[in-house]
Structure 1
Amino acid sequence: MTVLTTPHLNFRGEARAALEFYHSVFGGQLILVSNADAFSVERAEEAQQIKFGQVIGGNGFQIMAFDVPASNSYEQGEKSFFVSVRGDSVPEVTELWGRLAEDSTIIEDLAPAQFSPAYGMLKDAYGVVWVLDVAAAYEAA
């Protein structure tokens, strides 16, 4: 049996823009299903908001997102979660960092760290905190 964990991000009206941005960073397939597409419009102004959205990259990257309807409570919170992207090499992670950093707030610059050849943290324009690093071998404790 295989189990895949995919981060699912919740937005209030920004899911489409966020997913389109992540697609521009990671490539792959972009899937956007609006409330209208799913025949589940509660309020007319939410018809084009995202009921189901996903980016599936050819490199194994996956992320899902949707717009929380106004009829449901929603509080994004402060650093309530991080999305971690771990690559195999510094050039690979540096390239993703450069694209993801557009219009983002850098929390920690991408640089060598004690536990990784490259590690960085940023908060993108949609309020999502991303951690990017290069996978490193660890000694058993």
Structure 2
Amino acid sequence: MEQKVFAFLMFSGQADEAMKLYVSAFEDAGIVSAKYYPQSEPGAKPKVLHAIFSIKGQQVMCIDNQLSDSHPHAFTPALSLFVNCDSEAEINEVFAKLAEDGKVLMPLSPSPVSTLFGWLEDKYGVSWQLNLPAR
């Protein structure tokens, strides 16, 4: 079945870097497509016109906000990406990688409905809830 609803993340110049971090954090992940703005300066970071990456079969879109100076937008933990992990090793590894230079909102710990659950904001401001479902 074709995916009809996508999370869509708008960054202020870090979309390429963030997308590469996200797909490196998860085993079942990859960049599906990426289109970039033409670089205006030699050696400048690539700016994403439109990209799609996948995590565990779920596709997420992202772009760089070309008007970030005049129309800045920030991410908020009121909306987060919720990912069910497959093992304790996976949730520990992904949590550590995404939390690096970010902010832990809830450290990994057992919950009434999860073997382990943790919530963090990565260094780009994107909020992640990582879950290891109770078996």
Q: Is the 8 A contact 2:6 2:61 kept in 1?
A: yes
* Count of residue pairs brought into register by the alignment: 130
The Cα of 1:60 is off from its aligned counterpart by 2.1
Displacement over 6 Å in runs of 4+: none
The corresponding residue for 1:103 is: 101
Residue 54 of structure 1 aligns to a residue in which SS?
strand
Which whole-Å deviations, capped at 9, do the CAs of 1:47-73 have from their partners, x for residues lacking one? 93101122224x425322101121873
Residue 107 of structure 1 aligns to a residue in which SS?
strand
The corresponding residue for 2:62 is: 65
The corresponding residue for 2:127 is: 129
Residue 78 of structure 1 aligns to a residue in which SS?
coil
Identity of aligned residues (%): 28
Q: Is the 8 A contact 1:26 1:61 kept in 2?
A: no
The corresponding residue for 1:118 is: 116
Q: Could you say which structure has the larger radius of gyration? A: 1
Per the normalisation by structure 1, the TM-score is 0.75
| AA partner of residue 21 (structure 1) | L
Q: Is the 8 A contact 2:102 2:123 kept in 1?
A: yes
Q: Measure, in 1, the Cα distance between the counterparts of 2:60 and 2:26.
A: 10
Unpaired runs of at least 5, structure 1: none
Unpaired runs of at least 5, structure 2: none
Which whole-Å deviations, capped at 9, do the CAs of 1:15-47 have from their partners, x for residues lacking one? 1111111122125432331122xxxx9xx4799
The corresponding residue for 1:8 is: 8
Per the normalisation by structure 2, the TM-score is 0.77
Q: Is the 8 A contact 1:34 1:47 kept in 2?
A: no
| AA partner of residue 23 (structure 1) | V
Q: CA RMSD in A?
A: 2.8
**Which one is further off, 118-127 or 94-103?**
94-103
Q: Is the 8 A contact 2:102 2:120 kept in 1?
A: yes
Q: Is the 8 A contact 2:77 2:121 kept in 1?
A: no
- Pairs within 5 Å for 1:7-46: 7-27=7-27, 28-30=29-31, 31-36=33-38, 44=40
Which whole-Å deviations, capped at 9, do the CAs of 1:94-121 have from their partners, x for residues lacking one? 2222222222211110110112111001
Residue 95 of structure 2 aligns to a residue in which SS?
helix
